[in-house]
């Protein structure tokens, strides 16, 4: 079971492909067959279905896991977190909000993050659409920093990220975040979950295209370039999964080209280089990928969620090095 936990954690952090958790699934299936009503095994089954991109099946497993036992509320919270993301992948923002709201009321891990997610999901709804419980995203964003907490003397990186992003709502004439739910989805590697769900990807692309048009039509602001680059990064990811590599490359390259004009979201550039390198890996352009990964690793410091990005860079470099050693290939040495 410890190995199973390790594999599910690995797939969660890195957003790896199906082949990387085959062993985890093989470990789980005998237990699930023997204990089909086990809340824990149902949770792991749901997590694997989620990583595969089988969102509806994942929702069913998490709901069954919640129903299997009523005493362990922390376990319910784990399921709520996954259900929140499953509905977000489907663009069902009110349902995603519902689970974020439950977590904000019941769980103590990071109320700042839960409130930020509530506000993010509400902001994805059309302006004239009624909000659940009469809540307002701008008010929620302003509340995020008040829930700041420290664990072992430090704030969780995701919480610091959320607080920084919500800061722009402090101004009376605030400029809304363009697609905060999709941005946070990227931070939790949600786009890899959607890689085989063409219909959902196309819906997400429509959302990003609409956000892009709104940014182009909006008056110039201090956030404009940052917001445009965020949309380009996410658009590039969607286009990559929709098998439009040339357009995806153009999006990632445009973010890199805007490096000196970005004012706040400096994490966008190393992540754009990382995503471009992954695109190159998929095309067999390993030497170019390694050069980009080295640049992303060595040239950028002290940006939001840096440890997450470096973790992913290290994982890709390690994988490329292993492949190179296996094939006995020459060329750029990953390090």
Displacement of CA 212 from its chain's centroid (Å): 20
* pLDDT at 5 exceeding the cut of 60: no
Displacement of CA 97 from its chain's centroid (Å): 16
| pLDDT band, very low/low/confident/very high, at 29 (cuts 50, 70, 90) | confident
Contact (CB, 8 A) for 312 and 274: yes
Between 1.10.3720.10, 1.20.1430.10, 1.10.287.130, 1.25.40.10, what CATH number should domain 189-326 receive? 1.25.40.10
Higher pLDDT: 127 or 185? It is 185
d(CA 11, CA 51): 7
Q: Delimit the domains of the chain by residue range.
A: 1-71, 89-177, 189-326
Q: What is the pLDDT of residue 335?
A: 63
Contact (CB, 8 A) for 113 and 158: yes
Contact (CB, 8 A) for 8 and 52: no
d(CA 287, CA 29): 39
d(CA 123, CA 227): 15
Tell me the mean pLDDT in the region 253-277.
98
- Render pLDDT for 186-197 as a digit per residue (tens, 0 to 9): 999 899 899 889
| pLDDT band, very low/low/confident/very high, at 253 (cuts 50, 70, 90) | very high
Least confident of 39-53, 174-188, 262-276: 39-53
Please give, one letter per residue, the 3-state secondary structure of 147-185.
HCCCECCECCHHHHHHHHHHHHHHCCCCCCCCCHHHHHH
Contact (CB, 8 A) for 52 and 67: no
Helix axes 111-123, 93-106, angle to 10 degrees: 160
Q: Mapping DSSP to helix (H, G, I), strand (E, B) and coil, where does residue 151 land? A: strand
The pLDDT > 70 percentage for the chain reads 92
* pLDDT at 8 exceeding the cut of 60: no
Give Cβ neighbours of residue 127 (< 8 Å, ≥ 6 apart).
none
d(CA 166, CA 177): 8
Q: Mapping DSSP to helix (H, G, I), strand (E, B) and coil, where does residue 266 land? A: coil
Give the sign of the dihedral formed by CA 279, CA 281, CA 284, CA 289: positive
Residue with token string 């839960």: 114
What pTM does this model have? 0.91
297 C-beta neighbours (distance < 10 Å), count: 17
325 C-beta neighbours (distance < 10 Å), count: 11
d(CA 138, CA 166): 9
Between 3.10.20, 3.30.420, 1.20.120, 1.25.40, what CATH number should domain 1-71 receive? 1.25.40
* pLDDT at 6 exceeding the cut of 50: no
Tell me the mean pLDDT in the region 45-64.
93
Contact (CB, 8 A) for 161 and 183: no
């Amino acid at each position: 079971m410890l190995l199973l936990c390790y594999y599910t954690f690995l797939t969660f952090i890195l957003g790896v492909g199906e082949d990387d958790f085959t062993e985890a699934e093989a470990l789980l299936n005998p237990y699930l067959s023997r204990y089909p009503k086990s809340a824990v095994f149902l949770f792991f089954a749901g997590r694997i279905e989620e990583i595969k991109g089988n969102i509806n099946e994942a929702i069913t497993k998490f709901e069954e896991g919640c129903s299997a036992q009523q005493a362990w509320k922390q376990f319910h919270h784990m399921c709520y977190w996954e259900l929140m993301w499953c509905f977000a992948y489907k663009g069902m923002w009110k349902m995603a909000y519902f689970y974020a709201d439950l977590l904000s009321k019941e769980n103590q891990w990071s109320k700042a993050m839960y409130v930020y997610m509530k506000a993010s999901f509400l902001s994805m709804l059309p302006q004239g659409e009624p909000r659940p419980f009469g809540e307002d995203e701008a008010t929620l964003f302003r509340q995020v920093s008040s829930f700041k907490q420290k664990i072992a003397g430090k704030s969780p990186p995701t919480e610091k990220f959320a607080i920084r992003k919500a800061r722009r709502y402090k101004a009376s004439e605030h400029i809304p975040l363009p697609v905060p739910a999709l941005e946070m989805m990227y931070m939790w590697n949600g786009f890899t979950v959607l890689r085989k769900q063409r219909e959902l990807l196309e819906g997400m692309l429509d959302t990003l295209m609409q956000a892009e048009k709104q940014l182009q039509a909006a008056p110039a602001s201090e956030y404009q370039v940052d917001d445009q680059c965020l949309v380009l990064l996410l658009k590039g990811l969607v286009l990559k999964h929709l098998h439009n590599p040339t357009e995806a490359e153009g999006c990632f390259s445009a973010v890199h080209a805007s490096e000196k004009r970005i004012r706040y979201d400096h994490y966008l550039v190393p992540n754009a280089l990382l995503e471009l390198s992954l695109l190159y890996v998929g095309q067999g352009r390993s030497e170019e990928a390694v050069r980009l990964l080295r640049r992303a690793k060595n040239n950028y410091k002290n940006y939001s969620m840096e440890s997450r990005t470096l973790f992913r860079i290290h994982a890709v470099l390690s994988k490329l090095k292993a492949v190179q050693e296996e094939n006995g290939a020459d060329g750029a040495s990953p390090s």
